[in-house]
Amino acid sequence: MTTPSQEIAPLDTVKRKRRLVVNIGVVLATFGPGLISANAGNDAGGILTYASAGAQFGYGTLFLMVVVTIGLVVAQEMSSRLGVYTGQGLGGLIREQFSAASTFVALLMLLIANVALTVSEFAGVGAAMGILGVSRYLSIPLAAVLVWVTTVLGSYSKAERLLLVLSLVFLAYPVAAVLGHPDGQQVLENLVWPHFLSSHSFLVLAVALIGTTITPYMQFYVASAVVDKGVLPKDYKRERFDTVSGAIWSDLVSIFIIIATAAAIGGHGPLATAAEAARALRPVVGPAAPQLFAAGLLAASLLAASVVPLSTSYAIADAIGAPRSMSANFKAAPLFYGIFTLQILIGAGVSLAPGNLVALVIDAQALNGLITPILMTYLVILTSRRSVLGSAVNGPRFRVVAIVSVAVVGALAFVVLVQTVLSF
């Protein structure tokens, strides 16, 4: 015979289990714009730039990645917070809070950076399919059509999930970093102690690492995407978790890419082909490394080839008050989709030009690195204005961290720019 307490206990257990499942579902549901934008940062440009850092300078850029990760977390969090608490994207906020000239400069910088990045994404498609023996003159046009159709005709969300899953192939890098038997002492030393070289090539690559990690489009995209998603201030704790964890996670993968490549081909020099970067995965998958790397590079490139142009469309449409939503069709938001389409055409067209695809990709990241501190300055100013964010404004400590992050990135970019100008 059972007692009342014995009958109730199983019911309580069931309720607790249901509550646990619901809570897990809520947490998983929060993984949205922050995770997507940060993960899209590990695109063709990111992967090939990190791999080139490991191939050319071994573990020497690891400390820089620690600093850059802090900058990425700060930038992504500020962007997400602006979107949630104002209900506006960065383009609209810049238009409201700054002069017409300042708004034009910000949007021009973003447009230049994003067009270059879109070129690099399609170059990544060409490099990935080249490993599989498919000509860029076939793969890039097909990729352009695929990206346009899935984004404009409304099936983007399904494609986005598929590409995110496929890009998880790069989770093999942490395993590869271990199986590659890196020098643990050198890894630790380079992570905790600055190792800067005065050579121009090192500084350019350092700026490229900044540009491919704290990519300007990510900030514009995440601010507009949380608005599009309808995230409210009362839900911001969950959204902040998505944003911060996504940034940290993507950079951990980036660090492992550098370590794995350094262990495999450190001192090799700059990457000449994408196939060389695939060698770092051999300890994990053996002879299948090139094919696995190509699949991941293709997925990451296609994902970013959608996200990067979308961020430009969001920003410009925001700034002039035009309709901008992926829930609208082409007729309802012609400027939004028109800007997106133009970038796809330019990106695919330029990437078909003869030349080294890997060099083209890394040059695009360096250009982003020069532009990043300019756009981060807008972010710091906006999030420090109580008239914009009210009680959600930057706190004193956060403001210091944000300003230092911008100053470090700006100093590196300035040095590289001066050296480049003087070299002519």
Q: What's the pLDDT score for residue 16?
A: 45
HSE, side-chain direction, 13 A CA sphere, residue 174: 7
The answer to whether residue 57 is domain-embedded is: yes
The answer to whether residue 25 is domain-embedded is: no
Cα distance between residue 363 and residue 367, in whole Å:
6
Q: What's the pLDDT score for residue 217?
A: 81
The answer to whether residue 17 is domain-embedded is: no
Cα distance between residue 215 and residue 217, in whole Å:
6
pLDDT in tens, 285-307: 788 888 888 888 888 888 888 88
What residues contact 329, with CB distance under 8 A and at least 6 apart? 154
Which structural domain range is residue 50 located in? 37-422
Q: Which of 199, 170, 369 minimizes the C-alpha distance to 277?
A: 170
Tokens read off for 408? 């470090």
Domain count for the chain, please give it: 1
pLDDT in tens, 330-360: 777 888 889 999 999 999 999 998 878 888 8
- CA 296 to chain CA mean position, Å: 15
Instruction: Could you list the beta-strand ranges (E) of 39-167.
Output: none
Q: What's the pLDDT score for residue 11?
A: 42
Query: Is the pLDDT at 211 greater than 50, yes or no?
Result: yes
DSSP H helices, 266-288, are: 274-278, 282-285
Query: Is the pLDDT at 409 greater than 50, yes or no?
Result: yes
Q: What's the pLDDT score for residue 4?
A: 45
Query: Is the pLDDT at 15 greater than 70, yes or no?
Result: no
- Which domain CATH number covers 211? 1.20.1740.10
HSE, side-chain direction, 13 A CA sphere, residue 165: 6
Q: What's the pLDDT score for residue 168?
A: 66
The answer to whether residue 412 is domain-embedded is: yes
Model confidence, pTM: 0.82
Query: Is the pLDDT at 54 greater than 80, yes or no?
Result: yes
Please state the rounded mean pLDDT for residues 6-24. Answer: 42
Name the strand (E) or helix (H) holding 274.
Answer: helix 274-278
- Weakest mean pLDDT among 10-19, 171-180, 184-193: 10-19
- Weakest mean pLDDT among 117-126, 128-137, 157-166, 225-234: 157-166
DSSP 99: -
Amino acid (1-letter code) at residue 19: R
What residues contact 350, with CB distance under 8 A and at least 6 apart? 119, 122
DSSP character string of 289-309: HHHHHHHHHHHHHHHHHHHHH
DSSP 393: S
What does the buried/exposed string (b/e) look like for 93-110 if buried means 16 or more CB atoms within 10 Å of the residue's CB?
bbbeebeeeebebbbebb
Tokens read off for 422? 């003087």
pLDDT in tens, 84-132: 999 988 888 998 999 989 989 988 998 998 998 899 999 999 999 999 9
Please state the rounded mean pLDDT for residues 217-233. Answer: 82
pLDDT band at 145 (very low <50, low <70, confident <90, very high): very high
Q: What's the pLDDT score for residue 278?
A: 86
- Angle at Cα 348 formed by Cα 345 and Cα 343, nearest 5°? 40
Tokens read off for 352? 């078909």
The percentage of the chain sitting over the pLDDT mark of 90, rounded to a whole number, equals: 30
pLDDT in tens, 27-51: 434 455 555 655 556 777 888 899 9
Cα distance between residue 216 and residue 84, in whole Å:
18
Please state the rounded mean pLDDT for residues 162-185. Answer: 77
Mean pLDDT score of the chain: 82
The percentage of the chain sitting over the pLDDT mark of 70, rounded to a whole number, equals: 84
The answer to whether residue 22 is domain-embedded is: no
DSSP H helices, 132-215, are: 136-152, 156-166, 172-179, 184-192, 200-213
The answer to whether residue 29 is domain-embedded is: no
Largest CA distance in the chain: 93
Q: For the beta carbon of residue 70, count every other beta carbon within 10 angstroms.
A: 18
The answer to whether residue 86 is domain-embedded is: yes
Tokens read off for 249? 């996670």
What residues contact 343, with CB distance under 8 A and at least 6 apart? 114, 115, 118, 308, 309, 312, 313
Cα distance between residue 418 and residue 413, in whole Å:
9
- Weakest mean pLDDT among 181-185, 222-226, 385-389, 408-412: 222-226
What does each C-alpha distance from 297 to 44, 108, 166, 351, 368 come to in angstroms? 6, 29, 9, 16, 20
Question: Which position has the higher pLDDT, 14 or 209?
Answer: 209
Q: In angstroms, how far is the first alpha carbon of the chain from the final one?
A: 93
pLDDT band at 21 (very low <50, low <70, confident <90, very high): very low
Cα distance between residue 270 and residue 416, in whole Å:
18
The answer to whether residue 333 is domain-embedded is: yes
